C-alpha cells in the first residue's frame, strides 16, 4: 500500500489533469508529476518493502507464467516461475536508470535558481535513498541486482532440467515428462535411428 504522501501526490496529479483547460497549466502538472515520481522513489520502506509500489512492481517483473503443453481435451496448465537472473537484472537496471533520470530532473527543477546546488542536492538524495544499505526501494533494488549478478555467474547452464519433489516427473523448458514415459521415449528414439 502506497504511503500517504504518495497517495496525495497521485491525487494531486489526477485532479490537475482533470481540471486542465489549456496548455498554460502544463507547468503546474509537470511539477506535480515530478513530486509524485519523487515520492515513489525517495522514501524509507523499513521492514515492509512490498508496501512500496516500485518494489511490488519489481516482484511482478521477477515472475512469469509458463503454459504447459497438454493433451487434447485437458485444461491448460499454468505454472508461476522466476525469470532468469540476467533478464530480471536488466529490468531492474532499466528502472534504476529511469529513477536516476527522474531524480536528476527533479534536482534541476528544484535548484533552477542556483545551478551550483544541483550536485549538492543530488549527493544528499543519493546518500539517503539511492545506495545499497538504505532501506528504500532503490536500496533494495541495488541489493537485488548484486545478488542476481552473483547468482547469474554461478548458474551452470541456461536451461536446466528439474525433478519434481516426488521424483516422478522431470521438467525441461516447459515440458514435463513422467518417469514411466522414459522407456517409451528411449524406444521411440532408438527406432528412429
Whether residues 113 and 192 share a domain: the answer is no
Give yes or no: residues 178 and 121 share one domain.
no
Looking at the 3D structure of the chain, how many domains does it have?
A: 2
Which residues constitute the domain of residue 151? 42-155
Residues 89 and 123 in one domain: yes
Judge whether 67 lies within some domain. yes
CA 33, CA 10: separation in Å to the nearest integer? Answer: 8
- CB of 58 within 8 A of CB of 124? no
Distance, in Å, from the CA atom of 121 to the CA atom of 114, rounded to the nearest integer, reads 11
Asked if residue 49 and residue 77 are part of one domain, the reply reads: yes
Q: Which residues of the chain have pLDDT under 70?
A: 1, 68-71, 80, 152-160, 193
**pLDDT at 191 (0 to 100):** 78
pLDDT confidence of residue 70: 64
If asked whether residues 141 and 192 sit together in one domain, one would say: no
Predicted pLDDT of residue 25: 75
pLDDT reported for residue 158: 60
Q: Which residue has the cell 496448465?
A: 77
> 37 lies in a domain?
no
Is 2 a domain residue?
no
**pLDDT at position 1, please?**
65
Which pLDDT does position 69 carry in this prediction?
65
The verdict on 191 and 149 lying in the same domain is no
Tens-digit pLDDT profile for residues 117-127: 999 999 999 99
* Pair (89, 148) in one structural domain: yes
- Do the domain assignments include residue 14? no
Model confidence, pTM? 0.67
What stretch of H or E contains 79? strand 77-82
Amino acid at each position: 500500500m502506497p504511503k500517504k504522501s504518495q497517495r496525495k501526490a497521485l491525487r494531486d496529479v489526477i485532479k490537475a489533469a482533470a481540471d486542465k483547460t489549456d496548455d498554460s497549466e502544463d507547468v503546474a502538472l509537470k511539477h506535480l508529476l515530478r513530486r509524485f515520481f519523487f515520492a515513489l522513489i525517495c522514501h524509507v520502506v523499513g521492514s515492509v518493502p512490498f508496501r512500496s509500489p516500485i518494489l511490488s512492481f519489481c516482484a511482478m517483473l521477477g515472475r512469469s507464467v509458463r503454459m504447459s503443453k497438454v493433451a487434447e481435451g485437458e485444461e491448460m496448465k499454468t505454472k508461476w516461475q522466476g525469470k532468469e537472473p540476467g533478464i530480471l537484472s536488466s529490468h531492474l537496471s532499466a528502472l534504476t536508470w529511469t529513477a536516476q533520470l527522474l531524480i536528476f530532473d527533479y534536482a534541476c527543477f528544484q535548484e533552477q535558481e542556483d545551478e551550483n546546488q544541483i550536485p549538492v542536492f543530488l549527493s544528499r538524495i543519493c546518500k539517503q535513498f539511492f545506495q545499497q544499505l538504505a532501506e528504500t526501494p532503490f536500496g533494495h533494488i541495488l541489493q537485488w541486482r548484486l545478488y542476481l549478478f552473483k547468482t547469474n555467474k554461478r548458474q551452470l547452464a541456461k536451461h536446466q532440467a528439474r525433478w519434481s519433489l516426488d521424483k516422478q516427473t522431470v521438467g525441461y523448458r516447459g515440458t514435463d515428462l513422467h518417469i514411466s514415459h522414459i522407456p517409451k521415449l528411449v524406444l521411440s528414439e532408438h527406432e528412429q535411428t
